[in-house]
Structure 1
């Protein structure tokens, strides 16, 4: 009987990766500030990955001074580190990795033909990053259906849409969804959504496809209605208009009557006005969804993984996808609508209502997460000093509301003991009642402290997740965001703020 000592082999090969001995292959990763050169070994690369075998044989990898060279400007250093350690050592660790990195890892596994990792990486996303999937629902569709072998994500996405379509329709980028994708959803007889809501959403989608249409429908011309009609004509046969109430017909359908055929509109009008009218075009059976049973979308993931469902894919392929979401936030505390609201505050808006229609002015890049990196003042300053404008997001122990603050200048431990004046900082509470508190005493807006984070009215001190780790008061900002006193941080995150302009 043979005995395997694979962990020793893995350890030795990782050592070879790290000491670069006798390397003959250089891979340059990332074109941004985080670029890195990897010194590798062609015999290992071509043995473990058919991509590298082809790259060497077909000349994609250029050879200079007996060294093969490849450049991957669109792959991040963090993701390639995971891939190359797997290629050498056969191990992979996705603990505490951002969901966006894991999705990009899945894409890059396809690039390097590491098929044995497809299911593992998809399972990790589904099991550990459900909230991020819901926040980036359109992106997940675009990625998963571009690659035919990403069947687990395809089936999971399809299941979610069937059972909780609001996640799709409430997505901030819903109107960018492909027409064929959306049409296949409207054809689904098991869709859990009322017909009046489906009508509202398809009108919203149709308008977004034709940005030249006036914002106010009262300003529309006959040609404007015809433009919308052309965009929606394939959807109309799949909406159960006769299940829409008379009130919704009056206020939602009638303003867009020109989108319907004249025969259908006349028949619908008689159906709602004439007692016992027998409809002529009521050919669709009611959808089979049971609206009386509440659905918890987050339970779908565990059920999906437990039963290893083999649901047939219903959504067609889409030709192009963005590598990175148009807007997303890698946060365990806030969603992208809340992030968009914070972005509007940075821009100077005073809106305190969460909406998926808010314009997005900034990108938020995660610098630190307490549960991943630590809750100490030392870790904060090491990872966040000198990073420019930042947003602090904080959840207190045994509380549900989210507190936070915006610092438009650098954190700097070397300025310990000094106030930094600014008129642009603010604090907030994203609770049931949203509170925006702008700085009032601008000369006391930010206090540099070697003990942690201080907005004067919101302070994170020493070890933030211990007793007296958080302090709230009312002094330098115009509104109180929380009852005065000491608290314990349950989680906190810091994001660098980058203007999209």
Structure 2
């Protein structure tokens, strides 16, 4: 009854905004050809926004014929209409707005001090930042950077930068990459977690720098460049030189891709890098920046996840800073198909592996570690029966998908009394764990019958069938 009354109240007050009846205030918003005047009710704005409460109680306003006149040129009509609808009805509907418009709504809500929009829209943007970045990474990052003073955007900014650093091709292979703002590129290249080979960083930087001064210069034909061309590119690239991890570029890569551009680099830099590659123990004056993190072929996990999983593999209490393993993607369901035959074709007899699973509408990933091979224990005729392998080192786990605020994690190691059935092999299943099974994948379904072998997995794996969104399998290779 109460809920129905509140819905009716929201509807009735919303009608006042639509028809403008008994208005006592006109707000002029936008600039240029995008100016609009909207009839509103000052008492509602006063009650719902601290900004308007202050504005209407001070000498910020003027009146004409008893009507309050108020100008807000820095907010567009579409953005302001969203805010007014919330102030009048309490409703927040994001579906009809593009990601950049939602960011601008958040900026406007921060200026107008409308806590309800800030709280819910901030979370919506964070929850969907991966999808939004895939649509338009350049413009979204640049609009966030332009409004760096907006406090609610700071958390989103870190989420987005983390996501792009983990998947740099999303940005660097974008059609709009060459129009990337210089300050944003400086931020990205200064980060240690930008997962790119350093020679690729250099190539993209050259491509960007040349595009800032000319659309006709051909980086494949430097013989046609004039001395002025070299000089302009040198000036364009100057601030980026200290951010390049020069000693992470091999001598072959340096000679092939850097030396042709030596006219745009300081001579002492060229000499020092050459000395570094010729001398086994060179004395360096250049800062030796740490190498960037290794590339990871995954759409589900990042280096922070790997740090946790690696520490669990080695039974360490602290997450690794330098991960002692390399990880090779063997299988991705959305790429290779959800059928079990393909899984066994790509993942059997590969040694230690781990699987990570994404479920729809879940903020967590789940998975399992198999220190053995996935392979039949008996002859081929029994491969469609349950084959169990014994190990005390396997485990199941849960990790939060987003890692910007740290990782909430859970692990369930194998019950020592049940370790003889730790790993399940059956050609009708994909990855399998436990006697229940405790976790087994079949086509696009996750199946759990019990938690006998991995008892703590009941905290993050539900019994029954659960549809999967995707899963990946990685081979684990210890670094030499």
- TM tier relative to shorter chain: 0.5 to 0.7
The question of whether the paired residues in 2 share the 8 Å contact of 1:27 and 1:69 is answered with: yes
The question of whether the paired residues in 2 share the 8 Å contact of 1:123 and 1:305 is answered with: no
Note the alpha carbon deviations across 1:329-365, whole angstroms, 9 max, x for none: xxxxxxxxxxxxxxxxxxxxxxxxxxxxxxxxxxxxx
Distance 1:17 1:3, change over 3 A: closer
Distance in 2 (CA, whole Å) between partners of 1:129 and 1:33 is: 32
Does 1:153 pair with 2:248? no
Corresponding position of 1:172: 175
Distance 1:3 1:265, change over 3 A: closer
Corresponding position of 2:140: 140
Does 1:310 pair with 2:315? no
Distance in 2 (CA, whole Å) between partners of 1:248 and 1:235 is: 19
The normalised TM-score by structure 2 is 0.54
Q: Out of 256, 259, 268, which is 1:263 matched to?
A: 268
What is the number of residues matched between the two proteins? 307
1:55 CA drift (Å): 3.7
**Secondary structure in 2 aligned to 1:235?**
helix
Distance in 1 (CA, whole Å) between partners of 2:183 and 2:76 is: 32
**Secondary structure in 2 aligned to 1:27?**
strand
- Higher Cα Rg, which structure: 2
**Secondary structure in 1 aligned to 2:239?**
coil
The normalised TM-score by structure 1 is 0.52
Distance 1:308 1:41, change over 3 A: farther
1:40 CA drift (Å): 1.6
Alignment of 1:3-402 (within 5 A): 6-28=6-28, 37-72=37-72, 75-128=75-128, 130-145=130-145, 146=147, 147-149=149-151, 150-211=153-214, 214-215=217-218, 216-269=221-274, 274=278, 277-281=280-284, 283-284=287-288, 286-287=290-291, 289-296=293-300, 309-310=404-405
**Structure 2 residue runs without a partner (length 5+):** 303-357, 365-398, 407-480
The question of whether the paired residues in 1 share the 8 Å contact of 2:196 and 2:294 is answered with: no
Distance 1:37 1:185, change over 3 A: closer
Distance 1:302 1:77, change over 3 A: farther
Distance 1:302 1:138, change over 3 A: farther
Corresponding position of 2:447: none
Aligned-residue CA RMSD (Å): 3.8
1:309 CA drift (Å): 3.5
Distance in 2 (CA, whole Å) between partners of 1:83 and 1:308 is: 31
Distance in 1 (CA, whole Å) between partners of 2:215 and 2:3 is: 70
**Secondary structure in 2 aligned to 1:80?**
helix
1:86 CA drift (Å): 0.9
The question of whether the paired residues in 1 share the 8 Å contact of 2:29 and 2:72 is answered with: yes
1:33 CA drift (Å): 8.4
